[in-house]
Amino acid sequence: MAQDCREALLKKNYYENCPGCKVDQLKELRRGLPIRELVSIWIVVLCTALPISSLFPFLYFMVRDFNIAKREEDIGYYAGYIGSSFMFGRALTSVFWGIVADRYGRKPIIIIGTTTVVIFNTLFGLSTNFWMAITTRFLMGSLNGLLGPIKAYACEIFREEHQALGLSTVSTSWGIGLIIGPALGGFLAQPAEKYPNIFPKESLFGRFPYFLPCFCISVFALGVSIASFWLPETLHMHDEERFLSDDSFDAMETAPRGSEGIEKRPSNVRGKQSSGESLIRNWPLMSSIIVYCIFSLHDMAYTEIFSLWAVSPRKFGGLSFSTEDVGVVLAVSGFSLFVFQLSLYPYVERILGPITICRLSGVISIPLLSSYPFIAMLSGFSLTLLLNCASIMKNILSVSIVTGLFLLQNRAVDQHQRGAANGIAMTAMSLFKAVGPAGGGALFSWAQKRQNVSFLPGDHLVFFILNVVEAIGVLMTFKPFLAQPSE
């Protein structure tokens, strides 16, 4: 009899009109791979990743056409402002959107974010001057706060054994978007010059030469916005105090060990107050965010440096690649990354755990990056083969680190704080990512002037500095700095 009472107490209680409880019920009943949810998360993240990077292939020409730069050398200066305005806007509002997601749900923030892409990405493509371009990019970053809540959503919509797969879907879709975006921008910008038989100069796309790639992304975002209305909400919306007042008396009378039954009740409800409520004092969360920022700085600097290194002349230690050659390397890396994250990463994470994956990936990245200047000495098929292998490995290792840190951040807080926690992570990461490209570009320019020095000449210096940042990140994954969330 006592055993029956104990089992009844341990059984979860669900509220009839709570969307989070409905999702939990579905997770309890369903087994197997949740394909529909994976696809939903994939397209939502892809929708917000595409406009971030799609402008880089044509941004130089766009700024030139604005006639704001007095000299050609100043074009990069103004292009940097437009490129960083999105990240700056996102850094200012990520915490706010996370708090709103914790109060009103993940789904409204997802819909607002995808709708923001539709509106402001379209307006950016129609920009006629520098200030319109920078304003639309800033507003798109400020009002698109879905990346933090979508990571919380990916943890909540899946059963525990599929959470690593859900978060790897977020990071993989993000990485693929940052690869597909520049391809769209490069192939579709200035269509009247590239495809005059299809787009006459008198047409809309002829008068606004950078509108076509933005228009295509906005049409995709519109479809995602409409589809998002059918996403299930995962936030628990019921009053825990009423739950406790109804059930606590009977539970305390029948529970074999005091209030054990109450402790096993669902606690992920809105309005929960507990010890350690302050996210800033939650060291497992904050330490994982700091480590995440270090690796984000490294990844953005690497992304900037890789493209510059690949297209720079051989005499400066580069590869003399064309933009199409770089696009092929990135496309191969993106496809391999997609296959790895969906097939192997969840199993590796289950065996090793997220922290071990971060450490191993960081350690392996150091000798890999050190080999890049020597790869540049090759030519022909051997260069193509080794460069693609190195690029595939580097991207897989980088995304494995990011996914592992996503898991640590989301496991360090309860559901009612998960949106705000991811908002803090997005704010900090956005600031570091805004520094990464500028710092990487400056470092690369400095290294180009050091071709004949005896210690770390040319690109050897660039990849050495990248390895120093990577090594710092690896050291920070050990105790006492990085703390694991309590079980």
**Binning pLDDT at 50, 70 and 90, where does residue 349 land?**
confident
Q: What is the pLDDT of residue 55?
A: 80
Percentage, residues of the chain above pLDDT 90 = 14
Closest-CA residue to 427 (of 168, 141, 92): 92
Gap between the Cα atoms of 251 and 5, Å rounded: 9
Give 224's pLDDT tier (boundaries 50, 70, 90). very high
Is there a contact between 237 and 20 (Cβ–Cβ < 8 Å)?
yes
Tell me, what amino acid is at 369?
L
pLDDT score, position 63: 80
Residue 251 has pLDDT above 50, yes or no: no
Mean pLDDT, range 207-213, rounded to an integer = 89
For 258, list phi and psi in degrees, rounded to 5: 65, -125
Mind listing the pLDDT tens digit for each residue in 126-159? 998 989 999 999 999 899 888 878 887 887 787 7
Contact 83, 407 (CB under 8 A): no
pLDDT of residue 423: 77
pLDDT of residue 257: 41
Q: Which residue has the higher pLDDT, 432 or 186?
A: 432
Q: What are 302-338's pLDDT values in tens digits?
A: 876 777 677 777 877 778 776 567 767 777 777 777 7
Quote the tokens at residue 134.
Answer: 């920078």
Task: Return the pLDDT at 324.
Answer: 61
For 223-235, what is the mean pLDDT?
A: 88
**Which of 213-222, 290-299, 349-358, 413-422 holds the top average pLDDT?**
213-222
Q: CB of 323 within 8 A of CB of 186?
A: yes
Averaged confidence pLDDT in the chain: 77
Band the pLDDT of 277: cuts 50, 70, 90.
low
Q: Which of 363, 373, 365, 352 is nearest to 393 (CA)?
A: 365
Most confident of 91-100, 210-219, 253-262: 210-219
Average pLDDT over residues 206-234: 90
- Cβ count within 10 A of residue 29: 7
pLDDT value of position 237: 74
Residue 263 CA, chain-centre distance (Å), reads 35
pLDDT at 222 over 90: yes
Q: Between residues 208 and 35, which one has the greater pLDDT?
A: 208
Answer with the residue of higher pLDDT: 249 or 302.
302
pLDDT tens column, 421-467? 777 887 887 788 777 766 766 677 677 777 777 777 778 888 899 99
pLDDT at residue 264 is higher than 60 = no
How many whole angstroms separate alpha carbon 403 and alpha carbon 40? 18
Residue 440: CB atoms within 10 Å = 24
Q: Which residue has the tokens 């054994």?
A: 161
Q: How far apart are CA 106 and CA 267, in angstroms?
A: 18
pLDDT (0 to 100) of residue 366: 92
Do 420 and 102 touch, CB atoms closer than 8 A? yes
Contacts of residue 55, Cβ cutoff 8 Å, sequence gap at least 6: 62, 82, 83, 124, 137, 185, 210
**Taking the mean position of all CA atoms in its chain, how far away is CA 274?**
29
Specify the amino acid at residue 12: K
Q: How many CB atoms lie within 10 A of CB 406?
A: 25
Rounded Cα distance, 266 and 275, in Å: 17
Which pLDDT score, from 0 to 100, does residue 285 have? 84
* Gap between the Cα atoms of 345 and 487, Å rounded: 22
Q: Distances from the Cα of 275 to the Cαs of 282, 365, 423, in angstroms?
A: 10, 39, 21
Instruction: Give me the DSSP letters along 1-41.
Output: -HHHHHHHHHSPP--TT-HHHHHHHHHHH--S--HHHHHHH
pLDDT of residue 241: 41
Kindly state the tokens that stand for 369: 């990056």
Task: Output the CA torsion 271→275→280→281 (10° steps).
Answer: 180
pLDDT of residue 17: 74
Burial of 222: CB neighbours in 10 Å, binned 0-12, 13-18, 19+? middle
Q: Flag whether the pTM goes above 0.75.
A: no
Rounded mean pLDDT, 386-415: 83
Least-confidence region, from 194-203, 349-358, 359-368, 409-418 = 409-418
Using one digit for the tens of pLDDT, what is the confidence trace for 162-185? 777 777 778 778 777 877 777 777
- 312 in helix, strand or coil? coil
Q: Give me the pLDDT at residue 226, please.
A: 94
Which class for 164: exposed (0-12), middle (13-18), buried (19 or more C-beta within 10 A)? buried
Rounded distance between C-alpha atoms, residue 23 and residue 10, angstroms: 19
How does pLDDT run across 5-33, given as a tens digit for each residue? 444 334 567 677 777 677 777 777 777 67
Q: How confident is the model at residue 252 (pLDDT cuts 50, 70, 90)?
A: very low
